[in-house]
């Protein structure tokens, strides 16, 4: 590659580069060129396709608003800004929380009160009427759902949030579009520019060949990986029948999707949640999940953004085997990532009153590369899938298949003694496979009236807040919102039980959030205390975590190291209090401070942890 020749070709179409863009162009061009060659090098037109992407990047930078260029410069000075202990995320649906994008402005004051620095607004783009997978079937990445507002409203909200110190996060539905997207309609109609945007076959020969090794994701919706078009052809559709997979083997799709990312970056979006990243590349004879090209594509898109919108981050959403999740996380791919294993094992530990699987995961699967961070969450808008590795469970004498069935039964209330009130999602009677949906309060026992319900809500959040990275709160859970069973009466939602965990903003609960005579008030005030402590604890920044073994199966233990003192986290998922003996704590200076209660503790007396309780002990190693 002659970088000067590439630059000259691009400048011939865009004009001269400014100094900042020129520097980033020179820095990232070799990486992007190498990735494009690996992905598309067998095509004769691959270099022309790369030129088109670079022209797009240059034009996007020229049009990038000045406040966002200033943000780019600030983030370049503080590249690890997202690893601070002051980072706190919130997530909600716009319509359910505030009605419209303009309505979200009314809640910015509360978000600041809570300490949010990151706000994820669930899918808000134009989508088909009726069932649209909760907005994950996108009909246009450049149009907001008109019921929520306009793209101008989104840009105004992004600016207001940025002024308040809050980064806007949106979903980028990466693997597929809706069947109503302009690209999809043109592809089906045989438009030469778009007919290769999707994978369409004339008969069942190739679909049958692919389906020998792919898995069914939503068997209740359709069998296999393909759906039939009205003209009897077959199109790849991994998820719902109205979500058609894009064909990234076509570099025109790469350019088109890069254009959509840069458009959203220009509106003030600071983080793109890359949806279903594991599925974006297809190869016959494989499961078509987490293939090497999926990583190359993410790295290539990341390089484009580093050139044209350098402050924007990618967040990975890969609900796959734990060994595969980690593969998507790096400064050159996805800088932040959901931590589905920790989330699932938090609920597993609460159900079993046994912390061993979670402790094992924190010891083995928590570490990340420098310049990256987990997004740790108690639950999401989606279902809980039991993503632990069977081989990890087997080491502890646990049969993975049987254990998943137990957990599903427990969290939908089928097990004697269950405190949970969840809903089964996509249950397959033939295989026993299922996932579980619900709000934190309903899953933890508050809805049932279990005596430990409030404690479990606080405990689960305490784990997410103390293990590192960016903790994420599903807004409303901090005031103990309950399941919404009304979804069964709404036709567009009735067949998707995940809506049980997506209630409207609980205004009554927020109104009493200061009143500790109420469930909402007690939960809110306890969580606010955790948040305040975390903000002032530099040890809880970053990802570094050191296991701390405690001789109680019900206790989660780890240290978050600091320069002078560490924070020892001890959490009891059991239904009875436990006492950690002085010998276990003998490697620490006996004088410690419990940060949540703000009291001095003498470790020579051991440490008492109540049922469903948590301690954040500021400690020093014994001198």
Does an H or E element contain 391, and which? helix 390-395
Rounded CA-CA distance 611/507 in Å is 31
Reduced 3-state DSSP string for 364-421: HCCCCCCCCEEEEECCCCCCECCCCCHHHHHHCCCCHHHHHHHHHHHHCCCCCCCCCC
CA dihedral 427, 433, 439, 440 (to 10 degrees): 160
Rounded CA-CA distance 405/409 in Å is 6
Residue 5 neighbours by CB distance under 10 Å: 9
Place of tokens 């719902």: 240
Q: Write out the E strands in 3-162.
A: 89-92, 118-121, 125-126, 140-144
Please work out, in degrees rounded to the nearest 5, the angle formed at the alpha carbon of residue 586 by the alpha carbons of 585 and 592. 60
Q: 60 φ, ψ to 5°? A: -65, -45
Contact by Cβ (8 Å): 284, 210: yes
Q: Catalytic site residues?
A: 275, 317
Q: 588 φ, ψ to 5°? A: -110, 150
Q: What is the DSSP string of 256-298?
A: HHHHHHHHHHHTT--EEEEETGGGS---TTS-SSS-HHHHHHH
Does an H or E element contain 570, and which? strand 566-572
Please work out, in degrees rounded to the nearest 5, the angle formed at the alpha carbon of residue 516 by the alpha carbons of 512 and 519. 70
Q: Maximum Cα–Cα distance for the chain, whole Å?
A: 77
Cβ burial, residue 108 (10 Å; 0-12/13-18/19+)? middle
Reduced 3-state DSSP string for 223-247: CCCEEECCCCCEEECCCCCCEEEEC
> Tokens representing 98?
């505030």
> Tokens representing 226?
């393909």
Which residues have C-beta within 8 Å of that of residue 174, sequence separation ≥ 6? 257, 274, 275, 276, 277, 280
Q: Which residue in 381, 429, 385, 430 sits closest to 407, CA to CA?
A: 385
Scanning 78-135, the segments in alpha helix (DSSP H) are 94-97, 101-104, 108-114
Place of tokens 């070799």: 30
Does an H or E element contain 509, and which? helix 507-511
Q: 348 φ, ψ to 5°? A: -60, -45
Place of tokens 């999926």: 294
Rounded CA-CA distance 560/566 in Å is 6
Which residues have C-beta within 8 Å of that of residue 57, sequence separation ≥ 6? 25, 258, 262, 304, 307, 308
Bridge partner residues of 236 (DSSP): 226
Rounded CA-CA distance 568/547 in Å is 10
Bridge partner residues of 616 (DSSP): 569
**Cα–Cα separations (whole angstroms), residue 571 to 90, 374, 605:** 23, 20, 18
């Amino acid at each position: 590659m002659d970088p000067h020749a590439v630059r000259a070709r691009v400048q011939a179409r865009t004009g001269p580069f400014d100094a900042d863009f020129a520097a980033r162009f020179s820095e990232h061009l070799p990486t992007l060129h190498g990735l494009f060659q690996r992905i598309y090098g067998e095509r004769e037109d691959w270099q022309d396709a790369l030129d088109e992407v670079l022209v797009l990047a240059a034009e996007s930078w020229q049009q990038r608003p000045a406040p966002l260029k200033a943000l780019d410069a600030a983030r370049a000075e503080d590249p690890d800004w997202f690893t601070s202990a002051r980072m706190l995320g919130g997530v909600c649906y716009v319509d359910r929380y505030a009605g419209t994008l303009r309505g979200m402005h009314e809640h910015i004051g509360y978000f600041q009160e809570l300490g949010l620095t990151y706000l994820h607004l669930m899918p808000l783009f134009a989508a088909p009427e009726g069932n649209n997978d909760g907005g994950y079937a996108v009909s246009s990445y450049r149009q907001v759902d008109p019921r929520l507002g306009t793209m101008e409203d989104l840009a105004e909200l992004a600016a207001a949030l940025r002024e308040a110190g809050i980064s806007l996060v949106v979903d980028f539905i990466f693997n597929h579009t809706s069947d109503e997207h302009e690209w999809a309609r043109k592809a089906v109609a045989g438009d030469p520019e778009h007919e290769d945007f999707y994978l369409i076959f004339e008969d069942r020969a190739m679909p049958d060949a692919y389906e020998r090794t792919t898995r069914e994701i939503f068997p209740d919706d359709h069998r296999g990986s393909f759906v039939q078009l009205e003209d009897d052809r077959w199109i790849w559709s991994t998820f719902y029948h109205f979500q058609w997979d894009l064909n990234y083997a076509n570099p025109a799709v790469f350019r088109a999707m890069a254009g959509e990312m840069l458009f959203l970056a220009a509106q003030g979006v600071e983080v793109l949640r890359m949806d279903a990243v594991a599925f974006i590349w297809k190869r016959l004879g494989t499961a078509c999940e987490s293939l090497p090209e999926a990583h190359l594509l993410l790295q290539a898109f990341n390089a484009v953004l580093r050139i044209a919108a350098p402050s924007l981050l990618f967040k990975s959403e890969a609900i796959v085997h734990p060994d595969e999740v980690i593969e998507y996380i790096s400064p050159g791919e996805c800088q932040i990532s959901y931590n589905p294993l920790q989330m699932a094992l938090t609920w597993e530990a609460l159900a079993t009153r046994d912390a061993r699987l979670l402790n094992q995961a924190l010891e083995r699967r928590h570490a990340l590369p420098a310049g990256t961070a987990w997004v740790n969450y108690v639950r999401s808008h989606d279902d809980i899938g039991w993503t632990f590795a069977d081989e990890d469970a087997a080491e502890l004498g646990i049969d993975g298949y049987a254990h998943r069935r137990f957990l599903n039964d427990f969290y939908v209330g089928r097990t004697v003694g269950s405190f949970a009130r969840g809903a089964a999602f996509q249950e397959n009677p033939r295989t026993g496979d299922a996932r579980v949906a619900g709000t934190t309060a309903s899953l933890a026992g508050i809805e049932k009236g279990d005596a430990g319900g409030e404690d479990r809500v606080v405990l689960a959040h305490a784990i997410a807040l103390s293990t590192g990275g960016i903790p994420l709160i599903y807004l409303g859970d901090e005031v103990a919102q309950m399941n919404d069973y009304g979804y069964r009466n709404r036709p567009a939602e009735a067949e998707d039980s995940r809506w049980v965990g997506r209630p409207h903003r609980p205004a009554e609960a927020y109104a009493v959030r200061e009143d500790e005579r109420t469930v909402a008030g007690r939960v809110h005030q306890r969580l606010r205390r955790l948040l305040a402590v975390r903000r002032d604890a530099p040890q809880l920044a970053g990802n570094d975590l050191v296991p701390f073994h405690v001789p109680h199966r019900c206790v989660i233990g780890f240290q978050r190291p600091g320069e002078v003192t560490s924070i020892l986290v001890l959490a009891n998922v059991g239904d009875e209090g436990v006492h950690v003996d002085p010998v276990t704590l003998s490697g620490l200076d006996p004088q410690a401070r419990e940060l949540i209660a703000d009291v001095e503790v003498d470790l020579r007396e051991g440490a008492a942890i109540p049922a469903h309780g948590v301690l954040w002990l500021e400690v020093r190693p014994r001198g």
